[in-house]
Amino acid sequence: MDKTAQTNKNTMEYYQELNEKLELEKEGLELEKEELEAKLKWYEEQFRLLQQQKFGSSSEKTNSDQLSLFNEVEDTSDSNHEEPTVETITYKRKKQKGQRKEQLDNLPTETVEYRLPAEEQVCSCCAGELHEMSTQVRKELKVIPAQVKVMEHVQYVYSCRHCEQHEIQTPIQTAKMPAPVFPGSLASPSAMAYTMSQKYVEGMPLYRQEKQFERFGVFIPRQTLANWVIYGATTWLTLIYKEMHTALLELDAIHADETVVQVLSEPGRKATSNSYMWLYRSGHTDVPIILYEYQQTRASKHPRRFLQGYQGYLTVDGYPGYNGIKNVVLIGCWAHARRKFTEALQSLPESSTTTAVKAKEGLDFCNQLFDIERDLKSVSPQERYEQRLERSQPVLDAFSAWLKQQTPRVLPKSKLGKAVTYCRKQWDRLEGFLKDGRLEIDNNCAERSIKPFVIGRKAWLFSNTAKGATSSAIVYSIVETAKENGLNPFHYLSYLFERLPNINTTDREQLAQLLPWSTTLPQECRVPTKSK
């Protein structure tokens, strides 16, 4: 081979190698471009979703009728709206009812009568004596603010004068007096109940209660109020809490959830560390039981310990901390699955029509299941079980096939991809609600029950000590269970603090009569029913 041919061959090999190198670089750049575009798309999704969550409306959080906090009075005021509880009734001879049914029967009534003085009961025409022809009645609501007074308990001691004078020993008898709820303290059952109710029901922190008491003329530092709460919770309310815990573990279906709480003074932990408030509650077919438990971590050992001995269904979200609990069948939450498709739809740009259609399809499958559940809301558990197999099972089968089709077509890190992945990984649990008509399709009842704690946390922000957080868990358990059983938390707490120090607390039968669902509770503990 001559020199020129060899040179041409070398040149061709060089350009061929260069071309292959450029092709490899091009493929690398294209892959890098795809990765960057995917990342950019993901960031755009997060940005749009954040904008939606911050400024847009959300059917899961609010409704179209939600009002501004500051414009509530102006927005709700309507001069044409009829007053439902205020009416004027004219009586002629016989007492006649007004056109609207009385709606204030459950409130005590104070009557003020206005009569003419005797000297004015004279006819302006003939100077004859006037008689009472009829009356006009105006009803209005009178609000009596809280007031503080001193309750002085005087216990009389008796002895026999004859024995005092003639016998060596004199028998002494003392009148019975209720035991104090907090020995050596100014706290009465009502004061302790009021402090707890204001903090855990009305969301008023102790420092604000301290100022409120000052306006009543009573100077009680917040540290003292905190002592009342902790003592009342750990000494008395924990007895009711344990009985509620035992009753919860005897059920066949319960729900669980958890949320963060900050505790400042925990040994070996930073003040900024996240601790957790766990929640366990009964379902809609059982008596309402709501239990909070404070723990330092979100580890799976906590639900395993709390649910030790429980055998049944446990409805939860996708958190893996509930995995591996013995004798427990985990049921998934369709509200979480639907929420992920909603977020995928909200995070898409207007130009993304194809992906929007796919996200809408996934959302429609979820909505079909919830529509069926609404139709079955008032039926018996057995009929709900049968109807679910007939109506919900075909929807689940179609949805499962749709998910398998979408898996290779969507980006795994996109919102739609995460929604599809979540449903496929959770599928065995998500279709678990078909197993029993008593089961619920979602975990919304647990989320609703944990919300009062989340809202209260915004007011008081954190707990100072783990003991305080544990006390808060106990009090929240009592008041939230009381509310769901139709009780007035303040009156119920007052009743507990009056009764518990004066009964045998080792007698479970006596404690059972004090549980929030007990039929023996006095009527004053119950919220008055609204007149129809």
Q: Token digits for 376?
A: 């079955």
Point out the least confidently predicted range of 81-95, 197-211, 355-369. Answer: 81-95
The answer to which of 203-207, 303-307, 327-331 has the lowest mean pLDDT is: 203-207
Q: Is 255 helix (H, G, I), strand (E, B) or coil?
A: strand
d(CA 410, CA 418): 9
- Residue 62 pLDDT: 35
Residue 317 has pLDDT above 50, yes or no: yes
177-191, 264-278, 305-319, 392-406: range with lowest mean pLDDT: 264-278
Q: Does residue 77 carry a pLDDT above 70?
A: no
| Region 462-474 average pLDDT | 86
Count other C-beta atoms under 10 Å from residue 304's C-beta. 16
User: Above pLDDT 90, what percent of the chain?
Assistant: 54
pLDDT in tens, 496-530: 999 999 999 999 999 999 999 999 999 999 998 76
Q: For residue 326, give both structure tokens.
A: 């013995």
Query: For residue range 434-465, what is the model confidence (pLDDT) as tens digits?
Result: 999 999 999 999 999 998 888 877 766 567 78
pLDDT value of residue 264: 80
pLDDT score of 95 more than 50: no
Nearest to 45 by CA among 356, 421, 349: 349
What average pLDDT does range 56-75 have in this prediction?
45
Whether residue 407 has pLDDT greater than 60: yes
pLDDT of residue 130: 87
pLDDT of 54 strictly over 70: no
Q: Give the pLDDT score at 273.
A: 81
Cα separation, 202 vs 210, in Å, equals 15
Report the b/e string of 28-56 with b at 16+ CB within 10 A. Answer: eeeeeeeeeeeeebbeebeebbeebeeee
Mean pLDDT for the chain?
85
CB 478 within 8 Å of CB 493: yes
The pLDDT value recorded for residue 262 is 83
* DSSP string across 289-335: -EEEEEESS--THHHHHHTTT--EEEE--S-GGGTT-TTEEEE--HH
What average pLDDT does range 305-317 have in this prediction?
95
Contacts for 377 with CB less than 8 Å, ≥ 6 apart: none
Q: What is the DSSP string of 66-86?
A: ---SSSHHHHH--TTSPPSS-
User: CA–CA separation, 389 vs 434, rounded Å?
Assistant: 7
Higher pLDDT, 89 or 224: 224
Greater model confidence, 128 or 428: 428
* Residue range 244-256: mean pLDDT, rounded: 97
* pLDDT, tens digit, 9 for 90 and up, residues 99-155: 334 566 777 788 989 898 988 888 888 888 888 888 888 888 888 888 889 999 999
pLDDT tens track for 474-500: 999 999 999 999 999 999 999 999 999
Q: Are 418 and 362 in contact (CB under 8 A)?
A: no
**pLDDT band for position 356 (cuts 50, 70, 90):** confident
Q: Single out the residue of 54, 505, 459 nearest to residue 242, CA to CA.
A: 505
Is residue 27's pLDDT more than 80? no
Single out the residue of 510, 488, 413, 493 nearest to residue 106, CA to CA: 488
Give the chain's length: 532
Q: Give residue 170's pLDDT band: very low, low, confident or very high (50, 70, 90).
A: confident
What confidence tens digit (pLDDT) does each residue in 329-353 have?
999 999 999 999 998 888 777 666 6
- pTM for the structure as a whole: 0.79
How high is the pLDDT of residue 39?
A: 66
Burial 61-99 (b: 16+ CB within 10 A, else e): eeeeeeeeeeeeeeeeeeeeeeeeeebebeeeeeeeeee
Phi-psi group of 503: left, alpha or beta (phi > 0 → left; psi -120 to 50 → alpha; rest → beta):
beta
Instruction: List pLDDT tens digits, range 282-298.
Output: 999 999 999 999 999 99
Looking at per-residue confidence, does 30 or 421 come out higher? 421
Q: Is residue 25 scored above 70 in pLDDT?
A: yes
Query: 112 or 14: whose pLDDT is higher?
Result: 112
Residue 526 pLDDT: 94
Residue 408 parent element (H or E) = none
Give phi and psi for 154, each to the nearest 5.
-110, 115
Name 311's Cβ contacts closer than 8 Å, sequence gap at least 6: 327, 328
Tell me, what's the pLDDT at 120? Answer: 87
pLDDT of 302 strictly over 70: yes
